[in-house]
Structure 1
Amino acid sequence: MKILIVEDEAGISNFLKQGLEEEGYIVFVAADGLTGLETVKKETPDLILLDWMLPKLTGLEVCEAIRTYDKKTPILFLTAKDTVQETIDGLRAGANDYIKKPFSFEELLERIKIHFRNDTKTDVLTLGTISINPLSHQVFVGDKEVMLTQKEYDLLKYLVERKGTVCTRNSIIEDVWDIHFEYDTGVIDVFINAIRKKLNLSKDVELLKTIRGVGYIANEN
């Protein structure tokens, strides 16, 4: 599961990132509201931890902007603001929860777990007869489960989440492998071929199509 932390105090965000990654979550960090909003659109996190007082855009503005197109992803405000009116403003903007600073990591962790249990964002991703359950990390072709490695799963999910959009080799290496320097992107071919083989996709089936010199696209057309 992916969590985005939007927090301008590096000490807090680094502490939360380390703790959450130790719990097995994939964590992204943004230090201002504008970057946070851009990261939401790029990474599609499963839960957002949002500070109220942020540079460029306030947490309230970020929350309101997200809710114009995403009604489901849980948003938890982390803030020292605790008046009744401020709490009401946050909830009206679309927040799901409100945790006052300072807070214990254990309490935050339990609240995150509760929201994941109650989260209605459990839509199965589909590509033709292929289906992906993001919560259980299961992949099916029809009613038959297909066992993928973690990186194969991450790559397939990445492409299907962006169905209909060409994903460049550089973006795949950066986002799936988390490599942000010059690297041989030929490794992607190896994983794509392995995925195709496990999903029993013949070369004439273009659900996972190679765009020569550019990258790949998950496409049902």
Structure 2
Amino acid sequence: MNLALFDLDHTLINGDSDVEWTRFMISRGLLDGDHHNRTNDAFYQDYLDGTLDIQAYLAFQVAPLARYDRATLDRLHREFMAERIFPVIPRKARERIAEHKAAGDLLMIITATNRFVTAPIARELGVDNLIAIELEEDGEGKFTGRPSGVPSYREGKVTRLMAWLAERGETLDSYGKSYFYSDSRNDIPLLSKVTDPVAVNPDDTLRAHALAHGWPVISLRD
């Protein structure tokens, strides 16, 4: 069996689900647009530059979730999926997932976006395994507005994946091949660990790195 790992944002979807969630909440009048757009844009530029302070970003991004109960958040997320996510899932991404499923591979999405935002997207894509930013909950299942555990970002993706494999009594060597599809320079640490790294619509840094190392460069956009 092979292992097929996928980044989510700008890899399997044509956009950033975290950014789109913020824009969706602003469109509903649930967040202050000027403040959040300005701050989010600054964090996103840091992400593109490879200089993101992940803890500061998470503190900013997940705090608003604590304002609402889970029933309200789940209702909002269904609307978010219909308005913001379904339109940005490319046919080619679904086809690549289907190819790996047909080959009998084990599939996983591993993302630096939080589980609340990404779990329904993973389900829509038909991927059962997900490593994402975990969120702290109170005793009644309400989000506290704080992240939990090791962030699945840069080297943290490697740490989280190795821990997940260890829980299964496995390593990457347990699989004949291990694929990882990503668009971002921030994923070079994990791309460098798998047997078959694939740069998908890569940023300039990842494109140059991929070409220098003989990694395939593809597009999953329609």
If the length of structure 1 is used for normalisation, what is the TM-score? 0.31
Q: Which has the larger radius of gyration?
A: 1
If the length of structure 2 is used for normalisation, what is the TM-score? 0.31
Higher RCO structure (Cα 8 Å, ≥6 apart): 2
